[in-house]
Every structure is written in structure tokens, then in C-alpha cells.
Amino acid sequence: MDYFSGKYDVAVIGAGHAGIEAALAAARLGTKVVCFTINLDWIGNMACNPSIGGTSKGHLVREIDALGGEMGIAADKNTLQSRMLNLGKGPAVHSLRAQIDRREYSKYMKNTLEKQENLTLIQGEIVSLKKSDNSFWELKTQLDCVYHAECVVIATGTFLDGKIYVGDKCYSSGPDGMFPSIGLSDSLKEQGIGLRRFKTGTPSRVNRRSVDFSELEEQFGDERVVPFSFSTEEKPQNILSCYITYTNEKTKRIIMENLHRSPLFGGVIEGVGPRYCPSIEDKMVRFSEKERHQIFIEPCGLDTEELYLQGLSSSLPIDVQEGFVHSIKGLEHCEIMRNAYAIEYDCVDPLELRPTLEFNNIEGLFGAGQFNGSSGYEEAAAQGLVAGINAALKIQGKEPFILERSGSYIGTLIDDLVTKGCNEPYRMMTSRSEYRLILRQDNADIRLMKRGYELGLVSEEKYNRFLKKTQLIEIERKRTESTVIAPSEEINALLVSRETSPLSTGCKLADLIRRPQLNYEVLKPFDKNRPELPFEVFEQVEIDLKYEGYIKRQLAQVNEMHRLEVKLIPEDIDYKDVINLRTEAIEKLSKIRPRSIGQASRISGVSPADISVLLIYLAKNGKGE
């Protein structure tokens, strides 16, 4: 017999990285939220690598923080080691990455959800979901408890009909030996939602005491640690080291001799795996000319001896896993505590979603995270934040929250998913953005914090600190333009040593900083009136000065694209009525239902000629804005 357990504004299914941000955002915006998880002790679990950030992913975390999300704060509080990647390249691709104490991170997130007003956290598996009389959603748990909600966010991660593969063994499971979500997939199909199978995998974990560190290359954290969150005052510390080793010819031989035992190559796994995070057997086949592959050995936490073998994801049988792991320098006698595995799961085609992450044809139903076909904690959290915000705004009858791709990596991520779709787990990369010089991680607050504040997710205190920072940047920029450095033997000696021309007359500090060979630090001895300011202020001024021309050019591109983004397409348009629109374009536009001409122009199969025809039709019929 069913038991009615309560009515809520927003129900969130899942408490992984997407579910956490969705539930917190919706609750913080004043709606009554219920969040379901299969196991309360594994909220925010890092089922794969024990790290947050990385190339382009660090951008996402800082944007989440600028909008009022939680991931950056949680990461800072539980950092084991912090490194800024790509420092040898330009600032557009500098990306923060931190090793995280995975269990402490999970505990922090659980407690944050528990303490959040307007949020009820429940351990329970949702097995069915249906719309009741077109008014509210009815959710039923495995124990026949029924909940009603106006909006639902599906954030099921890799749990939805999850199956684990290790060699010829296959069984129903979620990640890390947890229960899978069984039954919900069938319920979603009954709602007309088409599901497909994706797969991902994870490497072995080994016991620290059994690793020979004398054979490994130690990797230290950065001397100057940069936090993810703009509100973090006590900067994280580097507590533990990481280590590097490599596969070899013996590793390759063991894997290649056993490829026939791989469920991936044997055709047992149906799901499509991530191209940019392949298993070790996949790497050996695809990059057969490579003599070795780098393996990062990463700590999982302060109170555990588990080490994570980044780069050794596999679904080969246990005996083969032990063989190739023990063939690697430093790991010859290591004890494998958790074996590697592949996991296959159900997810949706994101082309069924709007930029708000609400389903095109299903009112009040949102998707977020790996359910939408993406991979990665950071991508999941970003989508969860946007889905949670929009679910709350829908309840409140307010305008939806949409991030343009020209203004954020989150906007790029969501636009890629809902406009272009994905045939494999989607991973964010800096190369996916046309505007990466202005979408840097260092200026995420400048780009987005005002919007977070206007939403009500960024506190008054945090926003005022941000305003003070922007004021200091403006004052310092003006100072560099008015400060003149006089020629002298000392300054000219420095300039010549740096292979740049000496001074014959006075030169503005700003012009010296603009020179590629120079920066704030090397000019410090000659800048007599330099104020005491936070590093972040000098960083912003220096980047603005050095890349001024490029930034202006990119901003002009943004303005041109904005012209198309604000030209909205009526939701009720029938593309079959648009004369001279090609059949393929009609099919694609009818399925994706783009919000604007800009989004329509990015749909694969919609040509510039189709866009011209569409613009003419809208103008003639007085449609569009």
C-alpha cells in the first residue's frame, strides 16, 4: 500500500555532484526541496579520481563559485594538494586542479545539505516517476512512499540501470559497489523519454604501504596556492605529494595478449565510452606507436592508505589487471585494494533539453549531470546548479536563467549539449570555447558574480568584497597608465638582459608591462610607489594590459554573436511553414527547438543558407524579437 510522504516544490533524484548543486540552489532560492539518495553516506562521492578541477574543469568550478554554488568551497576545505596547470601557456588555459580528501569532501557535502533550510534529505531509491493529471509529479520509492513535486531534477549519475563489467563478469551495480537504480529507467521511457547506454570506467586503488616510492617521480604542489572559491580566506595547504610512473613494453604485451578477454573489445559492452578518458587497453590499441603511458599516483585521503592509479582505467579480468599493474615500476609488489571496472548506465539524449535543462516537451522535468550525457564531477555540478536555479525560478513564475556560451564555460557546456548533442560522454575542454581569452578562470567573478548576487545565491558580504576588488583593479590600472619609469643604468640593464629595448626617455609603467618579456614582478624594484595589493589585483591588470588588443577583438566577436542570440524564435513555430528551408534543417530545428537564431546557427545540419531563410521568414511574419 502506498504511503503519501509529502508535497514539495522541487524534487531532486540523486545526491552526487549534480544533485547537490541542484538541491542547494533551489532551496537557497526559497523553494521547498526534497533530495533523494540511495545511500546517505556516499553523498558527493568521488567514484573515480580523487580530484577536482583540471584543464577547463577548473574554469567550471570557479564559475560555479561565482554564481553561488558549493563545489569550490567544499574543494578548498578538503584539499590535499593544489596545482595550477598549463602555466607555461597563456592565461586563457591556466586551470586549477586539486587533490581532494574524498571521504571528507563527502562528509562536508552531506552536512551542508543537512543544514540547509528548505531542504529535506532522504535516503530512498526512486523507482517510478509520473505526471499526475498534468499538474504535479508523483515520485514513488522502493518502499512505496509517494512524494509530490511541481518540478523534478533527474541527477542519477551512473546509477540508472548500472552494470559493472570486469572481464567476463557482469552484474547490476552502481559505482563503488553501491546499489544501482532499477525501475526508474522504465518509468522514464513511459514518459516518452528515449534513453541510451553510455559507459565509463575507473582504475585500481592500491595500498600505499606496498608501493616502492624510491622508483617514482615525486610531484609537489604549487608554492603559491590559489583557492577555487573567491570567498576562501584561509588558503588550502599542500599536505601530500603525488607521484608519477610509466607503463612499459611488458605492460603493453600483457594487455595486448589479453585483449580478447576485454568486454570492451569483445562487444559485450554496448555503451559508448569517453574518447578523452579511455581505458588503458583502449589507449594501447589507439596509440600503439607509443612506447609508454604516464600514470599518476594520487592520494585518496589523509586517513586512508588508498592510492588512485590515474591512467590505468580498465575492464580486463582481475588476473590481467594484477599482471599489468605489477609490470609497472614502483608497483611491482603493490596490493590492489579495489580492482578497476567499467560501468554502463542509462542516460538521455541532451537534444531533448532546453538551455534551462528542462525537457523540451515535458513540463517541469529537468536533467543534470551524467544523466545528460556528460562526464566529470565539474560538468555535473555546473549543470546541477543551472537546473536547480531554473526549477526554482519556474516555481516562482520568474524568467529562466540562461548562460550564453560567450559569457561562460557553463554556457558553452550546456549549449554544446542541448544544441549539438553528444555521441559519447561529453567532456569540457578549453578548445570547445571560441572565446577562451575572455572566459578565463581568473575573471570568473568579474563575469558572473553580479548574476549570482542578483539571483540571491551570492551573499551581500561576498559581493561587497568583489566590488572592492574590482575598484582596486580600476585604480591600479589607472596608476600604471600615469606612472612613468625614468631611464637609468639599472632599468636598462634589466631590459637588455630580458632581450627588450632599453629606455632613452621616460616610459609608462603600463607600456613596460605590455612588453612580452616583462611583468609586474621583474619591474617591482623600479616601481617606487607600488601599493600593497592582493596578487589577484595585479594579475587582472597585467592580463588586461598584455592582451588588450586580443581581448578587444574577441569582445567584438561576442557583440556580433550577441546580435543573433537576442533574436528569439517563437516557441510555437512550425518549421514546415518556412518556405525554402531544407528537409534536414526542418527535422533538426523541429527536434531541438532552438531558443534563438544564434543557437539555431550552431546546430549540425543547419546551414548559413537555412539561417538566412529563417531570418527572412521571421521578418516577413513579424515573429522573433
Predicted local distance difference test score (pLDDT) of residue 561: 84
Rounded CA-CA distance 354/361 in Å is 9
Residue 121 is assigned to a structural domain of this protein: yes
Q: Are residues 446 and 572 in the same domain?
A: no
CA angle 103, 106, 107 (to 5 degrees): 90
Residue 383 is assigned to a structural domain of this protein: yes
Predicted local distance difference test score (pLDDT) of residue 605: 87
DSSP per-residue letters across 346-404: EEE-GGGB-TTSBBSSSTTEEE-GGGGTB-SHHHHHHHHHHHHHHHHHHHTTPPP----
Predicted local distance difference test score (pLDDT) of residue 217: 97
Q: Are residues 418 and 527 in the same domain?
A: no
The cell numbers describing 312, all together, are 590505468
Distances in Å between the Cα of 25 and the Cα atoms of 38, 119, 385, 563 are 21, 10, 6, 30
Q: Are residues 362 and 284 in the same domain?
A: no
Residue 558 is assigned to a structural domain of this protein: no
Rounded CA-CA distance 203/328 in Å is 14
Average pLDDT, the chain: 94
Residue 559 is assigned to a structural domain of this protein: no
Q: Are residues 370 and 449 in the same domain?
A: yes
Beta-carbon neighbour count of residue 618 at 10 Å? 19
Query: Domain holding 615: CATH number?
Result: 1.10.150.570
Rounded CA-CA distance 4/53 in Å is 41
Predicted local distance difference test score (pLDDT) of residue 264: 76
User: Nearest Cα to 416, choosing from 356, 371, 350?
Assistant: 350
Q: Are residues 111 and 240 in the same domain?
A: no
Q: What is this structure's pTM?
A: 0.95
Predicted local distance difference test score (pLDDT) of residue 359: 97
Q: Which domain holds residue 24?
A: 3-199+345-455
Rounded CA-CA distance 605/522 in Å is 52
- Taking a C-beta distance cutoff of 8 angstroms, is the pair 51, 99 a contact? yes
Q: Are residues 56 and 195 in the same domain?
A: yes
The cell numbers describing 423, all together, are 555521441
| Helix, strand, coil percentages in the chain from 3-state DSSP, rounded to 5 | 40, 20, 40
Of 394, 423, 455, the position where a domain reaches its end is 455
Residue 625 is assigned to a structural domain of this protein: no
Of 455, 473, 507, the position where a domain reaches its end is 455
Q: Are residues 231 and 336 in the same domain?
A: yes
Pairing label, strands 365-367, 145-154: parallel
Predicted local distance difference test score (pLDDT) of residue 625: 54
Rounded CA-CA distance 13/34 in Å is 9
Per-residue pLDDT reduced to its tens digit, 198-213? 999 999 999 999 999 9
Per-residue pLDDT reduced to its tens digit, 248-284? 999 999 999 999 998 877 677 776 766 667 899 999 9
Residue 22 is assigned to a structural domain of this protein: yes
Count up the domains in the chain and report the number: 4
Q: Are residues 101 and 51 in the same domain?
A: yes
Predicted local distance difference test score (pLDDT) of residue 133: 78
Given a cut of 50, the residues of the chain with pLDDT beneath it are: none
Q: Are residues 535 and 574 in the same domain?
A: no
Residue 435 is assigned to a structural domain of this protein: yes
Q: Are residues 546 and 582 in the same domain?
A: no
Predicted local distance difference test score (pLDDT) of residue 619: 86
Of 455, 488, 506, the position where a domain reaches its end is 455
Predicted local distance difference test score (pLDDT) of residue 465: 97
The cell numbers describing 459, all together, are 551573499
Residue 560 is assigned to a structural domain of this protein: no
Q: Are residues 308 and 291 in the same domain?
A: yes
Q: Are residues 470 and 586 in the same domain?
A: no
Predicted local distance difference test score (pLDDT) of residue 624: 53
Q: What are the counts of helices (DSSP H) followed by strands (DSSP E) for the chain?
A: 20, 22
Query: Domain holding 56: CATH number?
Result: 3.50.50.60
